[in-house]
């Protein structure tokens, strides 16, 4: 077993409320791990610690990319998360999906993309920049091709959640976190999201998700971890009827 | 009533045929308030981001201090700046110059601009910061993302700051000295202090004319800023 992420003895409290009290968890490379549990069990807090948004008050979170301990700064560029609320930036869909790419891009590419987007608004079409192409592909993947110029505020809840997914997918993260990815989604969007999660794993990537839906956890996950009152109370391996998943293959280079 | 109408007429004829006195007074008003805002805005934006997004002890106290200072009486500010500028030291020689007025305007509007910016940043959902973070943004990039969400509030801060500065009398009168040269060119006389002077002299028409000019110009500035700040959906 090759762990990509190891959490040891995680503790976290908000004021007097103890959200996590000693969680140990090793996430294997290429697995889908579902974290289930009642509201207030600490699922979202666990995700905030694992995505390095919050620092544990006790314990540690360590990433191992390429088998070596990876510094937090580098690890943050190789993971991505979709929050429970879409939390889109108040700009257009393109600006949302391109956000992480633009953060990582060198100045010249950022400038070229902004120029191309600006001219497009005036009706002038330059050949799309690499970032524009990747955004378009990510939007196609989530079933929102052609949505680039829509305002984030004009989207339905399901569309917004899928844009939030696209802006994480476009980064091709090695570990993807999804906090209640299909809660309050219409059935059609939920099916698309589940398909993407499977496709993502088949690509050798790791997915962590929280869910309220036991059926979804069983459908998707290789392993289910049950959280209650800030502790892991049960771990269950799911053996699928089919053969082992195909060997990992890199996604688009 | 007739007096008021006469003054309104006089005001508009002045607006369309401005003399050197009016033009130089407008210029001093805009220059002093504009420079104060230009200095205040970026400094306040950085401070507001640090105060509302940073985690340090005493944050609550700092915010309370800023909110209290938002209502600073301008004559008190003028008096304090006068006392500082009168001391021997680095500020020697600045008293009764436009620079002194810029300094007092800065002291006056920074808490207001800062306070409005802090409120607008705190109105942005914490989730936006988290979303930026989990997409790989570092602290500065997270702060920038949150500031972009608060851009309308920042515009409001600029409008409020400029409005307070240009409409302000007490402190610019004290530290500027309300000076106009003999040829009718204003040095440290602003539209507001001109109103004080003209009404003291009994020139109510001229005073009212200055008041109308002031309001028309503030309206024009607000229209321009309002166009900039329209939500993008409406463009």
Residue A181 has pLDDT above 70, yes or no: yes
Q: What is the pLDDT of residue B233?
A: 47
Cβ count within 10 A of residue B160: 16
How far apart CA A228 and CA A245 sit, in angstroms, is 30
The answer for B 105-134 residues in CB contact with A (under 8 A) is: 125, 127-128, 130-134
Q: Inspect the interface and report whether the beta carbons of B136 and A77 lie closer than 8 Å.
A: yes
pLDDT of residue A17: 93
Nearest chain B CA: its distance from A47 CA (Å): 10
Whole-angstrom distance, CA of residue A124 vs CA of residue A134: 20
Coil, strand, or helix at residue A201? helix
Q: Predicted confidence band at B125 (pLDDT cuts at 50, 70, 90)?
A: confident
Chain A contact residues (CB < 8 Å to B): 48, 51, 53, 73, 76-77, 79-81, 83, 85, 87-91, 99-100, 103-104, 151, 153-154, 164, 167-168, 171, 177
- Residue A207: phi, psi to the nearest 5? -125, 130
Angle (CA) A196 A202 A203, round 5°: 90
Task: Report which of A130, A16, A211, A86 is spatially closest to residue B134, judged by C-alpha positions.
Answer: A86
Mark yes or no for CB contact A79/B134 under 8 Å.
yes
pLDDT, position A137: 96
Q: What is the band of A247 on the pLDDT scale with cuts at 50, 70, 90? A: very low
pLDDT mean over A13-38: 95
Give pLDDT tens digits for B49-99: 999 988 889 999 999 999 999 989 999 999 999 999 988 777 778 899 999
pLDDT at B5: 83
Count the alpha carbons within 13 Å of A125 in the hemisphere toward its beta carbon: 2
Q: How much is the ipTM here?
A: 0.89
Rounded mean pLDDT of A45-73? 95
Contact across the interface for A103 and B135, Cβ inside 8 Å: yes
* The pair of three-digit structure tokens given for residue A52, joined into one six-digit string: 């390095």
**CA separation for the pair A237, B108 (Å, rounded):** 65
Q: List CB contacts (< 8 A) between B149 and chain A.
A: 89-90
Cβ distance A152 to A96 under 8 Å?
Answer: yes
Smallest CA–CA distance, residue B141 to chain A, in Å, is 8
Residue in chain A nearest B145 by alpha carbon: A89
Residues B139-194 pLDDT 10s: 999 999 999 999 999 999 999 999 999 999 999 999 999 999 999 899 999 999 99
pLDDT at B137 over 80: yes
* Burial of B107 per CB tally in 10 Å (0-12, 13-18, 19+): buried
Our CA-based measurement puts residue A201 at a distance from the nearest CA of chain B, in whole angstroms, of 19
Residues of chain B with Cβ-Cβ distance to A167 below 8 Å are 135
**Distance of residue B66 Cα from the nearest chain A Cα, in angstroms:** 26
Give the DSSP letter string of A103-125. HHS-HHHHHHHHHHHHHHHTT--
The pTM assigned to this predicted structure is 0.86
Q: What is the pLDDT of residues A203-215, one digit of tens each?
A: 889 999 999 888 8
| Third-level CATH fold of B2-234 | MetI-like fold (1.10.3720)
What pLDDT score does B8 carry?
Answer: 82
**Is the pLDDT assigned to residue B234 strictly greater than 50?**
no
Predicted pLDDT of residue B231: 59
Helix, strand, coil proportions of chain B in percent (round to 5)?
A: 75, 0, 25
Q: Find the helix packing angle between B151-166 and B20-53, rounded to 10°.
A: 140
Mean pLDDT, rounded, for A31-46: 94
Predicted confidence band at A2 (pLDDT cuts at 50, 70, 90)? confident
Domain limits, chain B: 2-234
Give the best residue of B53, B55, B131 to mutate against chain A (max A CB count within 10 A): B131
pLDDT for residue A140: 95
Chain A residue numbers touching B136 (CB-CB < 8 A): 76-77, 80, 100, 103-104, 171
Chain B partners within 8 Å of A171 (Cβ): 135-136
CB-CB: which of B130, B137, B138 is closest to A83? B130
User: Rounded to the nearest 5°, which phi and psi values hold at B184?
Assistant: 90, 10
Burial status of residue A42 (CB atoms within 10 A of its CB: 0-12, 13-18, 19 or more): buried
**Cβ pair A87:B130 closer than 8 A:** yes
- Report pLDDT digits (tens) over A108-151: 999 999 999 999 888 898 899 999 999 999 999 999 999 999 99
Q: What is the pLDDT of residue A241?
A: 55
- CA dihedral for A62, A66, A71, A74, sign (positive or negative): negative
Distance CA B192, CA B78 (A): 15
Could you report the per-residue pLDDT of B25-44, keeping only the tens digit for each? 999 999 999 999 999 999 99
- Taking only the tens place, the pLDDT of each residue in B212-228 is 889 988 898 888 888 87
E-strand spans in chain A?
A: 3-14, 17-28, 32-36, 58-65, 68-70, 79-82, 175-179, 206-211, 223-228, 231-237
Per-residue confidence at A244, pLDDT binned at 50, 70, 90? very low
Which residues does chain A have within 8 Å of residue B127's beta carbon, measured at their own beta carbons? 83, 85, 87
């Amino acid at each position: 077993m090759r762990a990509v992420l190891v959490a040891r003895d995680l503790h976290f409290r908000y004021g007097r409320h103890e959200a996590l009290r000693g969680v140990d968890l090793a996430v294997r490379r290429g697995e889908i791990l579902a974290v289930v549990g009642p509201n207030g069990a600490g699922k979202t807090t666990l995700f905030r610690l694992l995505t390095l948004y919050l620092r544990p008050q006790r314990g540690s979170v360590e990433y191992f990319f390429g088998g070596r301990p990876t510094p937090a700064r580098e690890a943050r560029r190789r993971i991505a998360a979709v929050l429970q609320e879409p939390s889109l930036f108040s700009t257009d869909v393109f600006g949302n999906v391109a956000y992480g790419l633009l953060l990582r891009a060198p100045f010249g590419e950022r400038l070229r993309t902004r120029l191309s987007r600006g001219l497009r608004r005036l009706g002038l079409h330059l050949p799309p920049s690499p970032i524009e192409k990747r955004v378009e592909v990510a939007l196609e993947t989530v079933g929102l091709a052609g949505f680039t110029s829509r305002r984030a505020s004009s989207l339905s809840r399901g569309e917004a959640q899928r844009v939030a997914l696209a802006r994480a997918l476009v980064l091709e993260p090695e570990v993807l976190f999804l906090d209640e990815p299909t809660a309050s989604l219409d059935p059609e969007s939920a099916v698309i999201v589940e398909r993407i999660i499977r496709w993502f794993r088949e690509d050798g990537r790791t997915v962590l998700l929280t869910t309220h839906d036991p059926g979804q956890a069983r459908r998707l996950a290789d392993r289910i971890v049950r959280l209650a009152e800030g502790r892991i109370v049960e771990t269950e391996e799911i053996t699928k009827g089919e053969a082992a998943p195909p060997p990992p293959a890199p996604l688009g280079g | 009533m007739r007096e008021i109408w006469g003054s309104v007429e006089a005001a508009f004829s002045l607006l369309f045929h401005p003399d050197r006195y009016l033009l130089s007074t407008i210029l001093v008003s805009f220059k002093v308030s504009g420079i104060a805002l230009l200095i205040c805005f970026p400094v306040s934006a950085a401070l507001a981001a640090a105060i509302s997004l940073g985690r340090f002890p005493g944050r609550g106290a700092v915010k309370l201090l800023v909110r209290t200072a938002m209502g600073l009486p301008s004559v008190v500010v003028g008096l304090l700046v006068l006392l500082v500028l009168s001391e021997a030291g680095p500020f020697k020689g600045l008293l009764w110059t436009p620079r002194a007025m810029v300094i007092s305007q800065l002291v006056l509007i920074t808490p207001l601009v800062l306070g409005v910016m802090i409120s607008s940043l705190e109105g942005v959902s914490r989730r936006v910061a988290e979303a930026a973070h989990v997409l790989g943004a570092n602290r500065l990039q997270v702060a920038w993302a949150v500031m972009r969400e608060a851009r309308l509030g920042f515009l409001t801060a600029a409008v409020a700051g400029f409005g307070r500065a240009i409409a302000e009398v007490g402190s610019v009168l004290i530290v500027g000295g309300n000076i106009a040269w003999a040829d009718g060119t204003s040095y440290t006389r602003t539209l507001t202090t001109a109103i004080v002077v003209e009404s003291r002299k009994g020139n109510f028409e001229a005073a009212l004319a200055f008041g109308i000019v002031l309001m028309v110009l503030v309206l024009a500035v607000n229209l321009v800023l309002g166009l900039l700040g329209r939500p993008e959906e409406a463009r």
